Structure 1
Protein backbone atom coordinates (compact mmCIF):
# COMPACT_ATOMS: atom_id res chain seq x y z
CA UNK A 1 0.00 0.00 0.00
CA UNK A 2 1.34 3.42 -0.97
CA UNK A 3 1.58 5.68 2.09
CA UNK A 4 1.05 8.87 0.09
CA UNK A 5 -2.23 7.54 -1.31
CA UNK A 6 -3.36 6.51 2.19
CA UNK A 7 -2.47 9.87 3.73
CA UNK A 8 -4.29 11.81 1.02
CA UNK A 9 -7.42 9.71 1.55
CA UNK A 10 -7.21 10.28 5.29
CA UNK A 11 -6.82 14.04 4.85
CA UNK A 12 -9.75 14.15 2.43
CA UNK A 13 -11.96 12.25 4.83
CA UNK A 14 -11.02 14.64 7.66
CA UNK A 15 -11.73 17.68 5.47
CA UNK A 16 -15.12 16.30 4.44
CA UNK A 17 -16.02 15.53 8.06
CA UNK A 18 -15.13 19.08 9.09
CA UNK A 19 -16.82 20.75 6.13
CA UNK A 20 -19.91 18.61 5.55
CA UNK A 21 -20.49 16.76 8.82
CA UNK A 22 -19.62 13.19 9.68
CA UNK A 23 -22.59 11.73 7.75
CA UNK A 24 -21.49 13.16 4.40
CA UNK A 25 -21.03 9.66 2.93
CA UNK A 26 -24.83 9.36 3.00
CA UNK A 27 -24.97 12.04 0.30
CA UNK A 28 -26.04 15.05 2.34
CA UNK A 29 -24.24 17.77 4.31
CA UNK A 30 -24.90 18.74 7.92
CA UNK A 31 -26.94 21.63 6.48
CA UNK A 32 -29.17 19.30 4.45
CA UNK A 33 -27.52 20.10 1.11
CA UNK A 34 -27.34 17.24 -1.41
CA UNK A 35 -23.82 16.08 -2.31
CA UNK A 36 -23.11 14.86 -5.85
CA UNK A 37 -19.42 14.01 -6.23
CA UNK A 38 -19.83 12.88 -9.84
CA UNK A 39 -21.20 16.31 -10.74
CA UNK A 40 -18.32 17.94 -8.87
CA UNK A 41 -15.89 15.92 -10.99
CA UNK A 42 -17.35 16.72 -14.40
CA UNK A 43 -17.96 20.38 -13.63
CA UNK A 44 -14.37 20.80 -12.39
CA UNK A 45 -13.13 19.00 -15.49
CA UNK A 46 -15.09 21.42 -17.66
CA UNK A 47 -13.38 24.30 -15.86
CA UNK A 48 -10.04 22.60 -16.43
CA UNK A 49 -10.46 22.82 -20.20
CA UNK A 50 -10.47 26.60 -19.89
CA UNK A 51 -6.79 26.44 -18.89
CA UNK A 52 -6.16 25.96 -22.60
CA UNK A 53 -6.75 28.12 -25.63
CA UNK A 54 -9.30 25.76 -27.13
CA UNK A 55 -11.55 28.45 -28.65
CA UNK A 56 -10.98 28.72 -32.38
CA UNK A 57 -12.59 32.17 -32.50
CA UNK A 58 -10.82 33.91 -29.61
CA UNK A 59 -7.23 34.39 -28.39
CA UNK A 60 -6.05 31.66 -30.74
CA UNK A 61 -2.36 32.13 -29.87
CA UNK A 62 -2.77 32.01 -26.07
CA UNK A 63 -0.39 29.62 -24.30
CA UNK A 64 -1.74 26.89 -21.97
CA UNK A 65 -1.94 27.97 -18.32
CA UNK A 66 -0.24 24.88 -16.91
CA UNK A 67 -0.04 26.28 -13.39
CA UNK A 68 -3.81 26.78 -13.21
CA UNK A 69 -4.38 23.44 -14.92
CA UNK A 70 -2.35 21.63 -12.27
CA UNK A 71 -4.39 23.23 -9.50
CA UNK A 72 -7.57 22.08 -11.26
CA UNK A 73 -6.14 18.55 -11.45
CA UNK A 74 -5.72 18.63 -7.66
CA UNK A 75 -9.33 19.82 -7.23
CA UNK A 76 -10.58 16.88 -9.29
CA UNK A 77 -8.52 14.52 -7.12
CA UNK A 78 -10.33 15.86 -4.03
CA UNK A 79 -13.65 14.88 -5.58
CA UNK A 80 -12.50 11.49 -6.90
CA UNK A 81 -11.25 10.47 -3.45
CA UNK A 82 -14.48 11.72 -1.87
CA UNK A 83 -16.53 9.67 -4.33
CA UNK A 84 -14.40 6.58 -3.62
CA UNK A 85 -14.88 6.91 0.15
CA UNK A 86 -18.63 7.33 -0.30
CA UNK A 87 -18.96 4.38 -2.71
CA UNK A 88 -16.91 2.03 -0.54
CA UNK A 89 -18.96 2.85 2.55
CA UNK A 90 -22.31 2.71 0.76
CA UNK A 91 -21.50 -0.66 -0.83
CA UNK A 92 -19.85 -2.04 2.33
CA UNK A 93 -16.60 -2.54 0.42
CA UNK A 94 -14.43 -1.31 3.28
CA UNK A 95 -12.78 1.78 4.63
CA UNK A 96 -9.99 4.15 3.67
CA UNK A 97 -7.21 1.58 4.00
CA UNK A 98 -9.09 -0.76 1.63
CA UNK A 99 -9.37 2.04 -0.95
CA UNK A 100 -5.65 2.78 -0.60
CA UNK A 101 -4.81 -0.89 -1.12
CA UNK A 102 -6.98 -1.10 -4.24
CA UNK A 103 -5.60 2.13 -5.72
CA UNK A 104 -2.03 1.03 -4.95
CA UNK A 105 -2.66 -2.17 -6.92
CA UNK A 106 -3.62 -0.27 -10.09
CA UNK A 107 -1.08 -0.63 -12.88
CA UNK A 108 -1.62 3.04 -13.77
CA UNK A 109 -0.12 4.13 -10.42
CA UNK A 110 3.32 3.07 -11.64
CA UNK A 111 3.02 5.64 -14.44
CA UNK A 112 3.16 8.49 -11.93
CA UNK A 113 5.83 6.94 -9.68
CA UNK A 114 8.52 8.51 -11.84
CA UNK A 115 10.66 11.63 -11.79
CA UNK A 116 9.90 12.40 -15.44
CA UNK A 117 7.82 15.58 -15.54
CA UNK A 118 6.59 16.45 -19.02
CA UNK A 119 3.54 18.17 -20.44
CA UNK A 120 1.57 16.36 -23.12
CA UNK A 121 0.06 18.23 -26.03
CA UNK A 122 -2.92 20.46 -25.33
CA UNK A 123 -5.23 18.36 -27.48
CA UNK A 124 -4.19 15.10 -25.82
CA UNK A 125 -4.74 16.56 -22.36
CA UNK A 126 -8.18 17.90 -23.29
CA UNK A 127 -9.12 14.50 -24.73
CA UNK A 128 -8.10 12.82 -21.46
CA UNK A 129 -10.13 15.37 -19.45
CA UNK A 130 -13.14 14.67 -21.64
CA UNK A 131 -12.72 10.94 -20.97
CA UNK A 132 -13.04 11.71 -17.26
CA UNK A 133 -16.18 13.72 -17.98
CA UNK A 134 -17.70 10.80 -19.93
CA UNK A 135 -17.12 8.45 -17.01
CA UNK A 136 -18.52 10.91 -14.47
CA UNK A 137 -21.72 11.74 -16.40
CA UNK A 138 -22.60 8.09 -16.98
CA UNK A 139 -25.82 6.99 -15.30
CA UNK A 140 -24.33 3.55 -14.72
CA UNK A 141 -22.54 2.60 -11.50
CA UNK A 142 -19.16 4.24 -11.80
CA UNK A 143 -16.07 2.09 -12.31
CA UNK A 144 -13.69 3.60 -9.75
CA UNK A 145 -10.72 1.66 -11.09
CA UNK A 146 -11.25 3.09 -14.56
CA UNK A 147 -11.87 6.59 -13.19
CA UNK A 148 -8.70 6.60 -11.07
CA UNK A 149 -6.61 5.07 -13.87
CA UNK A 150 -7.76 7.75 -16.31
CA UNK A 151 -7.00 10.38 -13.68
CA UNK A 152 -3.47 9.05 -13.14
CA UNK A 153 -2.94 9.24 -16.91
CA UNK A 154 -4.00 12.88 -16.71
CA UNK A 155 -1.58 13.46 -13.82
CA UNK A 156 1.40 12.25 -15.86
CA UNK A 157 0.25 14.24 -18.91
CA UNK A 158 0.03 17.39 -16.77
CA UNK A 159 3.68 17.55 -15.75
CA UNK A 160 3.02 15.95 -12.37
CA UNK A 161 4.08 12.75 -10.63
CA UNK A 162 3.04 11.13 -7.36
CA UNK A 163 5.35 13.33 -5.28
CA UNK A 164 4.14 16.60 -6.82
CA UNK A 165 0.53 15.40 -6.75
CA UNK A 166 0.95 14.68 -3.05
CA UNK A 167 2.60 18.03 -2.27
CA UNK A 168 0.01 20.05 -4.18
CA UNK A 169 -2.84 18.02 -2.73
CA UNK A 170 -1.68 18.55 0.85
CA UNK A 171 -1.23 22.26 0.11
CA UNK A 172 -4.71 22.58 -1.41
CA UNK A 173 -6.23 20.52 1.40
CA UNK A 174 -4.78 22.93 3.97
CA UNK A 175 -5.93 25.89 1.87
CA UNK A 176 -9.45 24.47 1.73
CA UNK A 177 -9.46 24.12 5.52
CA UNK A 178 -8.18 27.68 5.77
CA UNK A 179 -10.96 28.92 3.48
CA UNK A 180 -13.63 27.21 5.56
CA UNK A 181 -12.20 28.76 8.73
CA UNK A 182 -12.24 32.25 7.21
CA UNK A 183 -15.74 32.66 5.81
CA UNK A 184 -15.72 30.72 2.52
CA UNK A 185 -19.24 29.30 2.95
CA UNK A 186 -20.56 32.63 4.21
CA UNK A 187 -19.20 34.47 1.17
CA UNK A 188 -16.90 36.77 3.18
CA UNK A 189 -13.61 35.10 2.24
CA UNK A 190 -11.19 37.08 0.03
CA UNK A 191 -9.81 34.80 -2.69
CA UNK A 192 -7.44 37.21 -4.45
CA UNK A 193 -4.47 38.32 -2.34
CA UNK A 194 -2.65 41.38 -3.69
CA UNK A 195 -3.34 40.36 -7.26
CA UNK A 196 -2.73 36.60 -6.86
CA UNK A 197 -5.37 33.93 -6.25
CA UNK A 198 -4.89 32.12 -2.95
CA UNK A 199 -4.08 28.95 -4.95
CA UNK A 200 -1.03 30.69 -6.39
CA UNK A 201 0.03 32.02 -2.98
CA UNK A 202 -0.20 28.51 -1.51
CA UNK A 203 1.83 27.02 -4.38
CA UNK A 204 4.56 29.65 -3.97
CA UNK A 205 4.84 28.94 -0.23
CA UNK A 206 5.29 25.22 -0.95
CA UNK A 207 7.90 25.90 -3.64
CA UNK A 208 9.87 28.25 -1.38
CA UNK A 209 9.77 25.90 1.64
CA UNK A 210 10.44 22.34 0.55
CA UNK A 211 10.34 20.93 4.09
CA UNK A 212 7.27 22.82 5.28
CA UNK A 213 4.71 20.94 7.38
CA UNK A 214 0.93 21.29 6.92
CA UNK A 215 0.66 23.14 10.25
CA UNK A 216 3.32 25.67 9.29
CA UNK A 217 1.72 26.13 5.87
CA UNK A 218 -1.57 26.98 7.57
CA UNK A 219 0.18 29.50 9.81
CA UNK A 220 1.94 31.15 6.85
CA UNK A 221 -1.39 31.43 5.00
CA UNK A 222 -2.95 32.95 8.10
CA UNK A 223 -0.14 35.48 8.46
CA UNK A 224 -0.47 36.57 4.82
CA UNK A 225 -4.26 36.75 5.05
CA UNK A 226 -4.23 38.81 8.23
CA UNK A 227 -1.82 41.27 6.61
CA UNK A 228 -4.21 41.48 3.65
CA UNK A 229 -7.37 42.06 5.71
CA UNK A 230 -5.71 44.62 7.98
CA UNK A 231 -4.30 46.70 5.14
Structure 2
Protein backbone atom coordinates (compact mmCIF):
# COMPACT_ATOMS: atom_id res chain seq x y z
CA UNK A 1 0.00 0.00 0.00
CA UNK A 2 2.70 2.52 0.98
CA UNK A 3 4.79 1.85 -2.14
CA UNK A 4 1.74 2.09 -4.41
CA UNK A 5 0.65 5.37 -2.81
CA UNK A 6 4.12 6.87 -3.08
CA UNK A 7 4.43 5.91 -6.74
CA UNK A 8 1.03 7.43 -7.51
CA UNK A 9 1.98 10.61 -5.65
CA UNK A 10 5.32 10.86 -7.46
CA UNK A 11 3.60 10.36 -10.81
CA UNK A 12 1.01 13.03 -10.07
CA UNK A 13 3.79 15.44 -9.05
CA UNK A 14 5.79 14.69 -12.21
CA UNK A 15 2.72 15.17 -14.40
CA UNK A 16 1.95 18.49 -12.72
CA UNK A 17 5.49 19.81 -13.06
CA UNK A 18 5.66 18.68 -16.70
CA UNK A 19 2.13 19.38 -17.92
CA UNK A 20 0.61 21.88 -15.48
CA UNK A 21 -1.83 21.71 -12.59
CA UNK A 22 -4.82 20.83 -14.80
CA UNK A 23 -3.23 17.81 -16.50
CA UNK A 24 -6.05 15.51 -15.29
CA UNK A 25 -8.32 17.43 -17.65
CA UNK A 26 -6.41 15.96 -20.57
CA UNK A 27 -4.58 19.09 -21.75
CA UNK A 28 -1.10 20.40 -20.93
CA UNK A 29 -0.28 23.96 -19.84
CA UNK A 30 0.77 24.53 -23.47
CA UNK A 31 -2.58 23.42 -24.85
CA UNK A 32 -1.34 20.02 -26.06
CA UNK A 33 -3.85 17.17 -25.82
CA UNK A 34 -2.75 14.34 -23.49
CA UNK A 35 -3.57 10.80 -24.62
CA UNK A 36 -2.41 8.34 -21.95
CA UNK A 37 -3.95 5.40 -23.81
CA UNK A 38 -1.80 6.13 -26.85
CA UNK A 39 1.25 6.46 -24.59
CA UNK A 40 0.53 2.99 -23.24
CA UNK A 41 0.11 1.16 -26.54
CA UNK A 42 3.09 2.90 -28.14
CA UNK A 43 5.32 1.93 -25.19
CA UNK A 44 3.92 -1.59 -25.39
CA UNK A 45 5.05 -1.77 -29.03
CA UNK A 46 8.54 -0.75 -27.92
CA UNK A 47 8.40 -3.43 -25.24
CA UNK A 48 7.73 -6.12 -27.84
CA UNK A 49 10.89 -5.00 -29.63
CA UNK A 50 12.84 -6.28 -26.61
CA UNK A 51 12.36 -9.70 -28.25
CA UNK A 52 13.47 -11.14 -31.57
CA UNK A 53 9.87 -11.56 -32.70
CA UNK A 54 10.56 -10.86 -36.40
CA UNK A 55 10.63 -14.04 -38.47
CA UNK A 56 12.70 -12.36 -41.20
CA UNK A 57 15.42 -10.56 -39.23
CA UNK A 58 17.83 -11.30 -36.35
CA UNK A 59 15.96 -14.53 -35.63
CA UNK A 60 18.62 -15.81 -33.20
CA UNK A 61 19.09 -12.56 -31.29
CA UNK A 62 18.68 -12.96 -27.54
CA UNK A 63 15.90 -11.10 -25.73
CA UNK A 64 16.92 -7.85 -24.03
CA UNK A 65 15.38 -8.55 -20.63
CA UNK A 66 16.89 -5.45 -19.01
CA UNK A 67 15.19 -3.29 -21.62
CA UNK A 68 11.96 -5.26 -21.13
CA UNK A 69 11.91 -4.31 -17.46
CA UNK A 70 12.62 -0.65 -18.23
CA UNK A 71 9.77 -0.63 -20.75
CA UNK A 72 7.46 -2.23 -18.16
CA UNK A 73 8.25 0.66 -15.82
CA UNK A 74 7.66 3.17 -18.63
CA UNK A 75 4.21 1.66 -19.20
CA UNK A 76 3.55 1.85 -15.45
CA UNK A 77 4.07 5.63 -15.56
CA UNK A 78 1.29 5.91 -18.12
CA UNK A 79 -1.02 3.33 -16.51
CA UNK A 80 -0.87 5.28 -13.23
CA UNK A 81 -1.44 8.56 -15.08
CA UNK A 82 -4.46 7.13 -16.89
CA UNK A 83 -5.82 5.71 -13.62
CA UNK A 84 -5.48 9.04 -11.79
CA UNK A 85 -7.14 10.84 -14.69
CA UNK A 86 -9.92 8.22 -14.80
CA UNK A 87 -10.62 8.52 -11.07
CA UNK A 88 -10.77 12.31 -11.39
CA UNK A 89 -13.04 12.41 -14.45
CA UNK A 90 -15.43 9.71 -13.18
CA UNK A 91 -15.50 11.08 -9.61
CA UNK A 92 -14.21 7.80 -8.17
CA UNK A 93 -11.94 9.59 -5.73
CA UNK A 94 -8.45 10.86 -5.05
CA UNK A 95 -5.00 9.35 -5.42
CA UNK A 96 -5.41 7.98 -1.88
CA UNK A 97 -8.64 6.22 -2.87
CA UNK A 98 -6.96 4.77 -5.97
CA UNK A 99 -4.06 3.45 -3.88
CA UNK A 100 -6.43 1.76 -1.44
CA UNK A 101 -8.43 0.13 -4.22
CA UNK A 102 -5.27 -1.10 -5.98
CA UNK A 103 -3.94 -2.59 -2.73
CA UNK A 104 -7.11 -4.66 -2.41
CA UNK A 105 -6.83 -6.18 -5.89
CA UNK A 106 -5.97 -9.88 -6.08
CA UNK A 107 -3.36 -9.18 -8.75
CA UNK A 108 -1.64 -6.69 -6.44
CA UNK A 109 -1.36 -9.29 -3.69
CA UNK A 110 0.44 -11.54 -6.18
CA UNK A 111 3.19 -9.01 -6.96
CA UNK A 112 3.75 -8.21 -3.27
CA UNK A 113 6.06 -11.22 -2.99
CA UNK A 114 9.54 -12.44 -3.92
CA UNK A 115 9.74 -13.15 -7.64
CA UNK A 116 12.52 -13.22 -10.22
CA UNK A 117 11.40 -15.72 -12.88
CA UNK A 118 10.57 -14.68 -16.44
CA UNK A 119 7.72 -16.10 -18.47
CA UNK A 120 8.36 -17.25 -22.04
CA UNK A 121 8.69 -14.73 -24.85
CA UNK A 122 5.37 -15.74 -26.41
CA UNK A 123 3.53 -15.51 -23.07
CA UNK A 124 4.92 -12.03 -22.37
CA UNK A 125 4.12 -10.73 -25.84
CA UNK A 126 0.57 -12.11 -25.57
CA UNK A 127 0.08 -10.29 -22.26
CA UNK A 128 1.52 -7.06 -23.71
CA UNK A 129 -0.96 -7.28 -26.59
CA UNK A 130 -3.82 -7.83 -24.12
CA UNK A 131 -2.81 -4.55 -22.43
CA UNK A 132 -2.80 -2.85 -25.82
CA UNK A 133 -6.32 -4.15 -26.43
CA UNK A 134 -7.39 -2.83 -23.01
CA UNK A 135 -6.63 0.74 -24.11
CA UNK A 136 -7.51 0.39 -27.80
CA UNK A 137 -11.01 -0.93 -27.09
CA UNK A 138 -13.87 1.40 -28.00
CA UNK A 139 -15.76 0.21 -24.93
CA UNK A 140 -15.69 2.11 -21.64
CA UNK A 141 -12.24 1.85 -20.09
CA UNK A 142 -12.01 -0.87 -17.44
CA UNK A 143 -9.19 0.62 -15.39
CA UNK A 144 -9.22 -2.24 -12.90
CA UNK A 145 -8.68 -4.82 -15.67
CA UNK A 146 -5.88 -2.72 -17.15
CA UNK A 147 -4.08 -2.53 -13.80
CA UNK A 148 -4.62 -6.24 -13.17
CA UNK A 149 -3.21 -7.13 -16.60
CA UNK A 150 -0.26 -4.84 -15.93
CA UNK A 151 0.49 -6.56 -12.62
CA UNK A 152 0.37 -9.92 -14.42
CA UNK A 153 2.94 -8.53 -16.87
CA UNK A 154 5.05 -7.29 -13.96
CA UNK A 155 5.39 -10.82 -12.61
CA UNK A 156 5.98 -12.30 -16.06
CA UNK A 157 8.83 -9.83 -16.55
CA UNK A 158 10.75 -10.97 -13.48
CA UNK A 159 9.63 -8.08 -11.28
CA UNK A 160 7.71 -7.83 -8.03
CA UNK A 161 6.44 -4.89 -5.99
CA UNK A 162 9.84 -4.04 -4.51
CA UNK A 163 11.76 -4.17 -7.80
CA UNK A 164 8.98 -2.34 -9.65
CA UNK A 165 9.05 0.36 -6.99
CA UNK A 166 12.83 0.76 -7.09
CA UNK A 167 12.96 0.93 -10.89
CA UNK A 168 9.98 3.29 -10.97
CA UNK A 169 11.55 5.72 -8.49
CA UNK A 170 14.79 5.61 -10.48
CA UNK A 171 12.97 6.29 -13.78
CA UNK A 172 10.88 9.01 -12.15
CA UNK A 173 14.06 10.77 -11.06
CA UNK A 174 15.51 10.32 -14.56
CA UNK A 175 12.35 11.75 -16.13
CA UNK A 176 12.56 14.79 -13.88
CA UNK A 177 16.25 15.12 -14.76
CA UNK A 178 15.38 14.98 -18.46
CA UNK A 179 12.77 17.72 -18.10
CA UNK A 180 15.24 19.91 -16.19
CA UNK A 181 17.85 19.52 -18.92
CA UNK A 182 15.92 20.32 -22.08
CA UNK A 183 14.02 17.13 -22.91
CA UNK A 184 10.87 18.89 -24.04
CA UNK A 185 12.61 21.30 -26.44
CA UNK A 186 14.94 18.64 -27.85
CA UNK A 187 18.21 19.82 -26.28
CA UNK A 188 18.63 16.87 -23.95
CA UNK A 189 21.23 14.21 -24.86
CA UNK A 190 19.69 10.77 -24.32
CA UNK A 191 22.73 8.63 -25.20
CA UNK A 192 25.63 9.08 -22.79
CA UNK A 193 28.96 7.89 -24.17
CA UNK A 194 27.25 5.18 -26.20
CA UNK A 195 24.73 4.10 -23.56
CA UNK A 196 21.10 5.16 -23.27
CA UNK A 197 20.40 7.12 -20.09
CA UNK A 198 17.95 4.41 -18.95
CA UNK A 199 20.79 1.90 -18.82
CA UNK A 200 23.09 4.29 -16.96
CA UNK A 201 20.38 5.10 -14.43
CA UNK A 202 19.54 1.43 -13.79
CA UNK A 203 23.19 0.52 -13.24
CA UNK A 204 23.84 3.41 -10.85
CA UNK A 205 20.61 2.79 -8.94
CA UNK A 206 21.12 -0.95 -8.58
CA UNK A 207 24.83 -0.76 -7.71
CA UNK A 208 24.19 1.69 -4.86
CA UNK A 209 21.58 0.05 -2.65
CA UNK A 210 21.57 2.84 -0.07
CA UNK A 211 21.34 5.68 -2.57
CA UNK A 212 18.46 8.10 -1.93
CA UNK A 213 16.41 9.64 -4.78
CA UNK A 214 17.97 13.10 -4.37
CA UNK A 215 21.44 11.53 -4.36
CA UNK A 216 20.56 9.65 -7.57
CA UNK A 217 19.61 12.96 -9.19
CA UNK A 218 22.98 14.43 -8.19
CA UNK A 219 24.83 11.39 -9.50
CA UNK A 220 22.99 11.59 -12.83
CA UNK A 221 23.88 15.28 -13.07
CA UNK A 222 27.57 14.51 -12.50
CA UNK A 223 27.61 11.69 -15.05
CA UNK A 224 25.58 13.60 -17.64
CA UNK A 225 28.01 16.49 -17.84
CA UNK A 226 31.09 14.27 -17.52
CA UNK A 227 30.04 11.83 -20.24
CA UNK A 228 28.66 14.48 -22.59
CA UNK A 229 31.36 17.13 -22.17
CA UNK A 230 32.55 16.62 -25.74
CA UNK A 231 29.07 17.00 -27.21
> TM-score range, shorter-chain basis?
over 0.9
* Deviation at residue 229 of structure 1 after TM alignment: 3.3
2-side partners of 1:12 and 1:157: how far apart? 23
Q: Mind listing any 5+ residue stretches in structure 2 that lack a counterpart?
A: none
Residue in structure 2 matched with residue 218 of structure 1 by the alignment: 217
Residue in structure 2 matched with residue 94 of structure 1 by the alignment: 93
3-state SS in 1 of match to 2:228? helix
3-state SS in 2 of match to 1:230? coil
Residue in structure 2 matched with residue 143 of structure 1 by the alignment: 142
TM-score (norm 1): 0.98
2-side partners of 1:230 and 1:73: how far apart? 31
* Deviation at residue 226 of structure 1 after TM alignment: 1.5
Cα deviation per residue 1:65-107 (whole Å; 9 max; x = unaligned)? 0000100000000000000110111111111000000100100
Report if aligned partners of 2:5, 2:95 keep a CA contact under 8 Å in 1: yes
Residue in structure 1 matched with residue 66 of structure 2 by the alignment: 67
Cα deviation per residue 1:88-129 (whole Å; 9 max; x = unaligned)? 111111110000001001000121111121010000000000
1-side partners of 2:67 and 2:196: how far apart? 10
2-side partners of 1:119 and 1:205: how far apart? 23
1-side partners of 2:190 and 2:166: how far apart? 21
Give runs of aligned pairs for residues 159-174 of structure 1, distance below 5 A. Answer: 159-174=158-173
Q: Mind listing any 5+ residue stretches in structure 1 that lack a counterpart?
A: none
* Deviation at residue 208 of structure 1 after TM alignment: 1.0
Residue in structure 2 matched with residue 7 of structure 1 by the alignment: 6
Residue in structure 1 matched with residue 49 of structure 2 by the alignment: 50
Residue in structure 2 matched with residue 26 of structure 1 by the alignment: 25
* Deviation at residue 230 of structure 1 after TM alignment: 2.6
Poorly superposed stretches of 4+, deviation over 3 Å: none
The alignment's C-alpha RMSD in Å is 0.7
Cα deviation per residue 1:150-176 (whole Å; 9 max; x = unaligned)? 000000000101000000000000000
Report if aligned partners of 2:193, 2:228 keep a CA contact under 8 Å in 1: no
Cα deviation per residue 1:206-225 (whole Å; 9 max; x = unaligned)? 11111111100000000111
* Deviation at residue 228 of structure 1 after TM alignment: 2.5
2-side partners of 1:42 and 1:229: how far apart? 32
Give the aligned length. Answer: 230
Residue in structure 2 matched with residue 112 of structure 1 by the alignment: 111
